[in-house]
Amino acid sequence: MLRRVDKDLPVAELMAEIGCKARTAAQSLAIASPDKKTAALAAMADAVDRRAADILEANVRDIENGKNAGMSPALLDRLKLDHNRVAGISASIRAIAGLKDPVGDVIAEWDRPNGLHIERVRTPLGVIGVIYESRPNVTADAGALCLKSGNAVILRGGSDSVHSSKAIHEALLEGLAAAGLTETAVQLVPTTDRAAVGEMLKGLDGNLDVIIPRGGKSLVARVQAEARVPVFAHLEGLCHVYIDASADLAMASKIVVNAKMRRTGVCGSAETLLVDRLAVPTHLVPLLEDLRSAGCEIRGDDGVVELFAGAKPATEEDWSTEYLDTIISVKLVDGVDGAIQHINHYSSHHTEAVVAEDLRVVERFFNEIDSAILLHNASTQFADGGEFGMGAEIGIATGKMHARGPVGVEQLTSFKYRVRGNGQTRP
Amino acid sequence: MLRRVDKDLPVAELMAEIGCKARTAAQSLAIASPDKKTAALAAMADAVDRRAADILEANVRDIENGKNAGMSPALLDRLKLDHNRVAGISASIRAIAGLKDPVGDVIAEWDRPNGLHIERVRTPLGVIGVIYESRPNVTADAGALCLKSGNAVILRGGSDSVHSSKAIHEALLEGLAAAGLTETAVQLVPTTDRAAVGEMLKGLDGNLDVIIPRGGKSLVARVQAEARVPVFAHLEGLCHVYIDASADLAMASKIVVNAKMRRTGVCGSAETLLVDRLAVPTHLVPLLEDLRSAGCEIRGDDGVVELFAGAKPATEEDWSTEYLDTIISVKLVDGVDGAIQHINHYSSHHTEAVVAEDLRVVERFFNEIDSAILLHNASTQFADGGEFGMGAEIGIATGKMHARGPVGVEQLTSFKYRVRGNGQTRP
């Protein structure tokens, strides 16, 4: 556990103080100039690069602790940093710095017959709480996205990544200071005591406007059950790939292998492959052979097990399991109807892909499935704010309120109306 | 109390059944054609007109009950219908029918360097619960707005307006039937048992996606404290008008009297008047005389009481009181700085107006006050979805998540991403 920085205050008092500081910071951030925020972000990115050795050293300690604690390979992969990934962190901050400042942006404007001119203008949300587990890059992405969108942020990282997060946070503070912004704009909760999460869920006396949980099922479930403030829920990614009979086989194989195997520990990795029964004679065995060659375990329904010797039988539980591992469940379905039915029943409404040349199939898949992201002829691993051009993301929201899909700077804003008249009164 | 329509089911069972029916309706509404929804809305409006006599008769019963129960004049005004207001209800449904269908609307689209084409497309939210008190027109506005936006709705009106709401709801059902849409798209909870609200707050087994409370402080507070589903909170409207020294006096007077007195029972009515100290010699007394002539009681701070004989002294409580009555609190402030300070402290973040000719004052008022609606040289009574061109509104949201200000069809939608590729995999 980290030492409590603020003179060993009790957790409730510590968190109340953090909340107050965040609210004050939010008030000044809301009217901070775009240039100042951009300068802070640029300085943050430079500080991350300059401190890369410290960050990697801290990460080694987290990885060792993780191994000793018996962490799974997929979770270790989420936790692990190397030179490339640290460079990725600073590149991501720079990408966020380069985004258009959303605050003050006129989203819509119109005139009324009585001469009133109405503008809908973006505003920050206020104070954002991010509760996350093992991914240290969340520290940087969340800090940078909140700053760009004019919000103060309270980061509460997991004990798994405590050293890495702290090293990254120090770089962020250096950037804030360099631009003359208050360091309380991006606070990292200096204790891994779980009571700190409890305080955040209670809302810090009205000083927390929204909570974003990033982590496993039990964390998200606790946050959703207990939070007294709005939550942008990031549930699991139980993503599907459907291969239609009209699919190009080579493309289908490339997409399925990438969707499953590129990184198995990310929420956009595919967990279930649905194959059109009409594609069985042509597509099924080559697809499964390619997956197996890539090192993937196959768990199939009866039809799959019968046709592919290497497949183990899937149980009912498999269709609801986010493996985050080199395992895929495979089911034969009756065309796009069967795929839609299966997905609407089992999906976590995160991301689904269809591989097909028949565009009528694609339109039905796009219209009748209600998931945050639907892809045609592309890998589910594109479910990522950076890949969407948002610079980065705090997470992929699977709820439908306010934010859905990758949560980037725009999703971290609200809006207000500015109405200009010349003496109008209402009849 | 209304009879329980469904064979005297216990409330929990009744509400569970209503939730299931709403979910099923939502699935078919999400893919219903725009024409079918528009036809249903047109038929609803016609049915309201045709049933006007029945609706007014039902309203007379509600008004009598309200008077017997000692309801305040402002609340009776909210409850009261007459021929004009019934015509307003059908006109509002027709205005909603004429709006652009939001479902499927491409809000944004862009290309990525790797060739992926991304669209952000509007989708319905699903099932919306509206819990309201004495305003019978909410039945029609909420029903029509939810239908237009492809959502199923569960309406839970207060006991005050039970007869009026039921009569209006019957007209809505007639419209749904005429267009061949399921009548479960717009359900009115057939009991005034408060346990029904409790069931809605628990989320109806996942069959309720958002709750919109419309009513007094205690209702909204209960919903916010107990709801296990997202809430579009409509808190009180503690609206301010600030008169700057640069204000045109005739315009200021017209706006203040309208903002306070046009209808005192609506949430956009002004409750506090802030007058620039520099405007005292020229503006204060004429403004207060005009208010008093219009029948308004004045409660002022020390300076006001000293300068205007007709003013009673205001207490600290007055600055936080939504009178919804012919009373206004009046305070002298040090220019726009003083106004911003007072409003940011006491406002419910609903609607505030500035009357000024100095545009620097207006810009500061617009930038530094974080309320849903800010108006320049116009009455706060324009805080209304119909006046904003949204056809109508379910309420004015004072929270910052998802919806803010008037909640119309766009605010009742979510979105999803449709991504089109040609074989892209992620490196």
Query: Cβ of B53 under 8 Å from any chain A Cβ?
Result: no
Residue B128: pLDDT band (50, 70, 90) is very high
Query: Cβ of A382 under 8 Å from any chain B Cβ?
Result: yes
Question: Where in A136-201 does DSSP place strands (E)?
Answer: 152-156, 186-188
Q: Which residue's entry shows tokens 């029903």? A: B143
- Choose the mutation target among B23, B263, B345, B418 for the interface with A, i.e. most A CBs under 10 Å: B418
CA torsion through residues B24, B30, B35, B38, sign = positive
The answer for residues whose C-beta is within 8 angstroms of residue B254's C-beta and 6 or more apart is: A423, A425
> In Å, how far is A1's CA from the nearest CA of chain B?
33
Query: Cβ of B277 under 8 Å from any chain A Cβ?
Result: no
**Chain B residues 247-276 with a CB less than 8 Å from chain A:** 248, 251, 254-255, 257-259, 262
Position A8 scores a pLDDT of 60
Residue A9: pLDDT band (50, 70, 90) is confident
Q: Would residue A392 count as lying in a domain?
A: no
Q: With contact defined as beta carbons under 8 Å apart, do B365 and B386 qualify?
A: no
**CB nearest to B255's CB, from A104, A251, A423:** A423
Q: With contact defined as beta carbons under 8 Å apart, do B89 and B143 qualify?
A: no
Side chain identity at residue A192, one-letter code? T
> Are A56 and A191 contained in the same domain?
yes
Side chain identity at residue A280, one-letter code? V
Q: Would residue A298 count as lying in a domain?
A: yes
Q: Which residue's entry shows tokens 């000044």? A: A28
State whether A262 and B426 contact (CB < 8 Å).
yes
Q: Would residue A150 count as lying in a domain?
A: yes
In the predicted model, is pLDDT for residue B75 greater than 90?
A: no
> Are B198 and B264 contained in the same domain?
no
d(CA B242, CA B356): 8
Q: Would residue A399 count as lying in a domain?
A: no
Structure tokens at B120: 């952000």
Query: Cβ of A222 under 8 Å from any chain B Cβ?
Result: no
Backbone angles phi, psi at A171, to 5 degrees: -65, -40
In the predicted model, is pLDDT for residue B303 greater than 90?
A: yes
Position A375 scores a pLDDT of 98
State whether A379 and B112 contact (CB < 8 Å).
no
> Are B27 and B108 contained in the same domain?
yes
> Are B207 and B260 contained in the same domain?
no
H or E segment at A64? helix A52-68
**CB nearest to A421's CB, from B116, B378, B404:** B378
Q: Which of A354, A363, A374 is nearest to A241 (CA)?
A: A354
> Are A326 and A411 contained in the same domain?
no
State whether B426 and A258 contact (CB < 8 Å).
yes
A340 contact residues in B (CB cutoff 8 A): none
Q: Would residue B402 count as lying in a domain?
A: no
Q: Which of A28, A148, A213 is nearest to A412 (CA)?
A: A148
B376 contact residues in A (CB cutoff 8 A): 418-421
Side chain identity at residue B276, one-letter code? D
Could you report the per-residue pLDDT of A121-143, keeping only the tens digit for each? 999 999 999 999 878 889 999 99
Give the whole-number percent of chain B exceeding pLDDT 90.
83
Structure tokens at B113: 């360097």
- Report which of residues A390 and B151 the model is more confident about: B151
> Are B212 and B275 contained in the same domain?
no
Q: What would the mean pLDDT of B95-119 be, rounded to a whole number?
A: 96
Could you report the per-residue pLDDT of B171-222, keeping only the tens digit for each? 999 999 999 999 999 999 999 898 999 999 999 999 999 999 987 778 888 8
> Are A40 and A68 contained in the same domain?
yes
Residue A174: pLDDT band (50, 70, 90) is very high
Q: With contact defined as beta carbons under 8 Å apart, do A25 and A146 qualify?
A: no
Q: Note the maximum CA span of chain B.
A: 80
> Are A272 and A208 contained in the same domain?
no
Q: Note the maximum CA span of chain A.
A: 80
Query: Cβ of B110 under 8 Å from any chain A Cβ?
Result: yes
State whether A402 and B404 contact (CB < 8 Å).
no
State whether B421 and A30 contact (CB < 8 Å).
no
Q: Would residue B425 count as lying in a domain?
A: no
Q: Which residue's entry shows tokens 């307003």? A: B88
> In Å, how far is B225's CA from the nearest CA of chain A?
8
Give the whole-number percent of chain A exceeding pLDDT 70.
98
d(CA A104, CA A120): 9
Q: What would the mean pLDDT of A224-248 be, rounded to a whole number?
A: 90
Position A1 scores a pLDDT of 38
Q: Would residue A391 count as lying in a domain?
A: no
3-state class of B108 per DSSP?
A: strand
B254 contact residues in A (CB cutoff 8 A): 423, 425
Tell me the DSSP string of B320-336: G----SSEEEEEEESHH
**Chain B residues 407-426 with a CB less than 8 Å from chain A:** 414-426
Query: Cβ of B370 under 8 Å from any chain A Cβ?
Result: yes
Position A3 scores a pLDDT of 43
**Rg for chain B (alpha carbons), in Å?**
23
Query: Cβ of A378 under 8 Å from any chain B Cβ?
Result: yes
Position B133 scores a pLDDT of 84
Query: Cβ of A368 under 8 Å from any chain B Cβ?
Result: yes
Strand partners, A374: A352, B418
Q: Would residue A331 count as lying in a domain?
A: yes
State whether B209 and A389 contact (CB < 8 Å).
no
Nearest residue on chain B to A211, alpha-carbon basis: B401
ipTM: 0.90
**Chain A residues 150-209 with a CB less than 8 Å from chain B:** 209
Size of interface A-B (CB pairs under 8 A): 179
Domain range enclosing B55: 11-234+407-419
B258 contact residues in A (CB cutoff 8 A): 425-426
> Are B39 and B169 contained in the same domain?
yes
Orientation of helix B137-148 relative to helix B83-98, angle to 10°: 10
Query: Cβ of B222 under 8 Å from any chain A Cβ?
Result: no
d(CA A225, CA A227): 6
State whether A377 and B421 contact (CB < 8 Å).
yes
d(CA B291, CA B415): 46
Q: With contact defined as beta carbons under 8 Å apart, do B29 and B185 qualify?
A: yes
3-state class of B237 per DSSP?
A: coil
> In Å, how far is B412's CA from the nearest CA of chain A?
10
Nearest residue on chain B to A127, alpha-carbon basis: B400
> In Å, how far is B302's CA from the nearest CA of chain A?
29
Say which CATH number the domain at A41 has.
3.40.605.10
Q: With contact defined as beta carbons under 8 Å apart, do B412 and B146 qualify?
A: yes
State whether A376 and B418 contact (CB < 8 Å).
yes
> Are B229 and B244 contained in the same domain?
no
Position B3 scores a pLDDT of 43
Query: Cβ of A33 under 8 Å from any chain B Cβ?
Result: no
Could you report the per-residue pLDDT of A377-404, keeping only the tens digit for each? 999 999 999 899 988 888 889 888 899 9
User: Euclidean distance between the first and final Cα of chain B, in Å?
Assistant: 64
Q: Are strands A106-111 and A117-124 parallel, antiparallel or unpaired?
A: antiparallel
Q: What would the mean pLDDT of A272-298 be, rounded to a whole number?
A: 98
> In Å, how far is A152's CA from the nearest CA of chain B?
15
Tell me the DSSP string of A201-218: HHTTTTT--EEEEES-HH
State whether A424 and B123 contact (CB < 8 Å).
no
d(CA A383, CA A406): 7
Strand partners, B312: B299
3-state class of B116 per DSSP?
A: coil
Q: With contact defined as beta carbons under 8 Å apart, do B419 and A376 qualify?
A: yes
State whether A376 and B420 contact (CB < 8 Å).
yes
State whether B377 and A420 contact (CB < 8 Å).
yes
What integer best gives the mean pLDDT of chain A? 94
A267 contact residues in B (CB cutoff 8 A): none
Q: What would the mean pLDDT of A321-340 be, rounded to a whole number?
A: 96
Say which CATH number the domain at A263 has.
3.40.309.10
d(CA B195, CA A353): 43
Residue B8: pLDDT band (50, 70, 90) is low
The answer for residues whose C-beta is within 8 angstroms of residue B211's C-beta and 6 or more apart is: B128, B129, B130, B131, B200, B201, B223, B227, B229, B230, B231, B232
Query: Cβ of B399 under 8 Å from any chain A Cβ?
Result: yes
Side chain identity at residue B308, one-letter code? F
Tell me the DSSP string of A258-322: HHHHS-TTSTTSEEEEEEEGGGIIIIIHHHHHHHHHTT-EEEE-HHHHHH-TTPEEPPGGGGG--
d(CA A12, CA A229): 17
State whether A425 and B262 contact (CB < 8 Å).
yes
Position B4 scores a pLDDT of 44
- Report which of residues A374 and A75 the model is more confident about: A374
Strand partners, B420: A376, B117
In the predicted model, is pLDDT for residue A317 greater than 90?
A: yes
> In Å, how far is A70's CA from the nearest CA of chain B?
29
> Are B269 and B181 contained in the same domain?
no
**CB nearest to A378's CB, from B104, B374, B421:** B421
Side chain identity at residue A152, one-letter code? A
Question: Where in A46-116 does DSSP place strands (E)?
Answer: 106-111
State whether B210 and A116 contact (CB < 8 Å).
no
**Chain A residues 54-93 with a CB less than 8 Å from chain B:** none
Q: Which of A162, A192, A207 is nearest to A16 (CA)?
A: A207
Tell me the DSSP string of B154-219: EEE--GGGHHHHHHHHHHHHHHHHHTT--GGGEEE-S---THHHHHHHHTTTTT--EEEEES-HHH
State whether A426 and B402 contact (CB < 8 Å).
no
- Choose the mutation target among B222, B401, B413, B422 for the interface with A, i.e. most A CBs under 10 Å: B401
- Choose the mutation target among A400, A410, A412, A414 for the interface with B, i.e. most B CBs under 10 Å: A400
Question: Where in A319-387 does DSSP place strands (E)?
Answer: 327-333, 351-355, 373-378
The total number of structural domains in chain A stands at 2
Position A224 scores a pLDDT of 84
State whether B251 and A424 contact (CB < 8 Å).
no
Position B235 scores a pLDDT of 72
> Are A142 and A119 contained in the same domain?
yes
Alpha carbon A22 to its chain centroid, in Å, reads 23
B123 contact residues in A (CB cutoff 8 A): 370, 400
